[in-house]
Amino acid sequence: MDEIDEKRDELRPKSGEAPFDLGEVFYSRTDDRGVIQSGNYVFQRVAHYEWDELLGAPHKTVRHPEMPKAVFRVFWDELKAGKVTAAYVNNCAKDGLNYWVFAIVAPCKGGYLSARIKPSSKLFEPVRQLYEQLFDAEKNGASVDDTAQALLDALKGMGYDNYDAFVVDAVGEELLSECAHLGLEPIASVSGARELVSLADSIIAATRELSTEFTYLGGIPRNLQIKAARVERTDGPLSVLARNYEGMSVDMSEWFEAHVVGENTSFSSIRRTIERAMLVGSVATILARCDRQLLSERRTLGTVEIEPERSMLGELQADYKTRSREAYALVATEAGKIVNSCRDMKRMLLGLDTLRVAFKIEDSRSGEANAGIGDIIAQLGAAQERANTQRNTILEDSQRMAELASEMQEPERAHLPDLLLYGPRMMPAVAKTPSLKKSAA
């Protein structure tokens, strides 16, 4: 046995939490019914079962009895829909010790792979309190259907439209929090994805403001025509300009509806695309860590052969890396479309401004200062300025998004520090065995 091997019975406390460190990751692989097919040593160590007790057993073997059933109902609904998902889970080891994990679960050949890290983010405590409420409700007779809905309602109250939105945020929060607690620089692949999410939110907010301004601009020309009719003959220059302005503003509103706020536009889909890229990229990161820790453990996995298991992890990791690059390439493409839309908007806004200036000139010639036209022209100018400010915000954010999404496709963005690759318990061995660092992930 290696000198750094844990003497499990000596190191485990008699009560409380099972030893599981920040920076460690463990995984288990199940068939499509949730029956355990394999795992790594950290899984066995933390769960405190022998391999012959784990392999072929249902995964609920390690489920803590106080976990609400609602969590697993929602969790399995996501998995059966073919999604990558995640959840906070409280497990119970063979000796009665509990251990909380943040589990990221991805479909794999023949079933599912669940990778777990120790939760440490600001989301963990509110979720734990929510679980207590759900468990109490189930214990007092509430149906799983009702508590599952209560879970989704509670997440909506926390600002998440659905469980998918919660998963995306929680994955980013946990991976960044883990680095922060370990004193590491944020993983570039995660921090970059989080920046993209922030840019998407900024673009969405600016788009809403822009939509409000365009609605406002579209309602003003009719007032202009009414005012113009009071100070000049029928079809005078002010009336003509007002009709032209109305026609141009209507065209612009229709263009905005079709190209910006429509369901299938780049503006409306960009955040979903980023979330997908972030999630599959995070899975690739976690899989790299699982593979490297499996390599560093150098232990038997019961009747499971290590090399085929590493091969499976490698293939799955490569698949998710490819999917991540493809998703970020799509983000870059969509961001480029938004940039082009912003340039089109600039031309339209310049056209409106040209008409506004012409209107101002004609108004000054009319000599009717009290007609109120000047006030309306000033309102147009202020609205156009606000619209242009929002357009500039969208342009700058989408340009940065295109640049960052292109960077996220580069291999070096996936670099991981040794502490995350091997875990704190293996670091002494890594220091003594440099070849571990050079081994292929």
The whole-angstrom distance between residue 96's C-alpha and the CA centroid of its chain comes to: 35
**pTM of the complete model:** 0.84
Q: Which residue has the higher pLDDT, 290 or 437?
A: 290
Task: Encode pLDDT of 395-410 as tens digits.
Answer: 999 999 999 999 998 8
Kindly state the DSSP code that residue 358 receives in the 8-state scheme. Answer: H
Q: Which of 291, 104, 278 is nearest to 190 (CA)?
A: 278
Instruction: State residue 18's pLDDT score.
Output: 93
Instruction: State residue 130's pLDDT score.
Output: 97
Backbone angles phi, psi at 66, to 5 degrees: -100, 15
Best-predicted range by mean pLDDT (180-184, 218-222, 244-248, 340-344):
180-184
> Angle of helix 188-231 relative to helix 266-297, nearest 10 degrees?
170
- C-alpha 401/C-alpha 273 separation (Å) is 12
Instruction: State residue 88's pLDDT score.
Output: 97
Instruction: State residue 357's pLDDT score.
Output: 85
User: pLDDT over 90 for what percent of the chain?
Assistant: 49
> Mind giving me the DSSP string for 12-39?
S-SSSBPP--TT--EEEEEETTSBEEEE
Fold of 1-183: Beta-Lactamase (3.30.450)
Instruction: State residue 440's pLDDT score.
Output: 44
CB 127 within 8 A of CB 142: no
Instruction: State residue 353's pLDDT score.
Output: 85
Q: Which residue has the higher pLDDT, 371 or 217?
A: 217
> Mind giving me the DSSP string for 96-128?
S-EEEEEEEEEEETTEEEEEEE---STTHHHHH
Instruction: State residue 94's pLDDT score.
Output: 95
Residue 182 has pLDDT above 90, yes or no: yes
Asked which of 55-69, 324-338, 366-380, 419-433 is least confident by mean pLDDT, the reply is 366-380
Task: Encode pLDDT of 7-45 as tens digits.
Answer: 445 578 888 899 999 999 999 999 989 999 999 989 999
Over residues 209-214, the mean pLDDT reads 85
Confidence label for 1 from pLDDT (cuts 50, 70 and 90): very low
Q: Which residues are CB-contacts of 159 (< 8 A; sequence separation ≥ 6)? A: none
Task: Encode pLDDT of 130-170 as tens digits.
Answer: 999 999 999 999 999 999 999 999 999 999 999 999 999 99
Place of tokens 């939490």: 17
Residue 411 has pLDDT above 80, yes or no: no
Instruction: State residue 101's pLDDT score.
Output: 97
* Gap between the terminal Cα atoms of the chain: 24
Residue 115 has pLDDT above 90, yes or no: yes
Asked which of 115-129, 202-216, 320-334 is least confident by mean pLDDT, the reply is 202-216
Q: Which residue has the higher pLDDT, 319 or 221?
A: 319
Cα–Cα distances in angstroms (integers) from residue 355 to residues 36, 176, 229, 377, 438, in the given order: 71, 51, 18, 10, 67
Instruction: State residue 217's pLDDT score.
Output: 78
Question: Is the backbone of residue 305 left (phi > 0), alpha (psi -120 to 50) or beta?
Answer: beta
Segment holding 89, helix H or strand E: strand 85-92
- C-alpha 99/C-alpha 46 separation (Å) is 8
In sequence order, the β-bridge partners of residue 86 are 104
Confidence label for 104 from pLDDT (cuts 50, 70 and 90): very high
Over residues 89-114, the mean pLDDT reads 94
Instruction: State residue 2's pLDDT score.
Output: 45
Over residues 95-99, the mean pLDDT reads 94
Confidence label for 6 from pLDDT (cuts 50, 70 and 90): very low
Q: Which residue has the higher pLDDT, 291 or 70?
A: 70
Over residues 91-108, the mean pLDDT reads 94
Instruction: State residue 4's pLDDT score.
Output: 43
Place of tokens 């085929």: 308
Over residues 288-292, the mean pLDDT reads 88
Q: Which residues are CB-contacts of 93 (< 8 A; sequence separation ≥ 6)? A: 18, 46, 47, 48, 49, 62, 99
Residues in the chain: 441
Q: Can you give the residue ranges of every domain in the chain?
A: 1-183, 189-414
Task: Encode pLDDT of 355-397 as tens digits.
Answer: 888 877 877 776 555 457 777 778 888 888 998 999 999 999 9
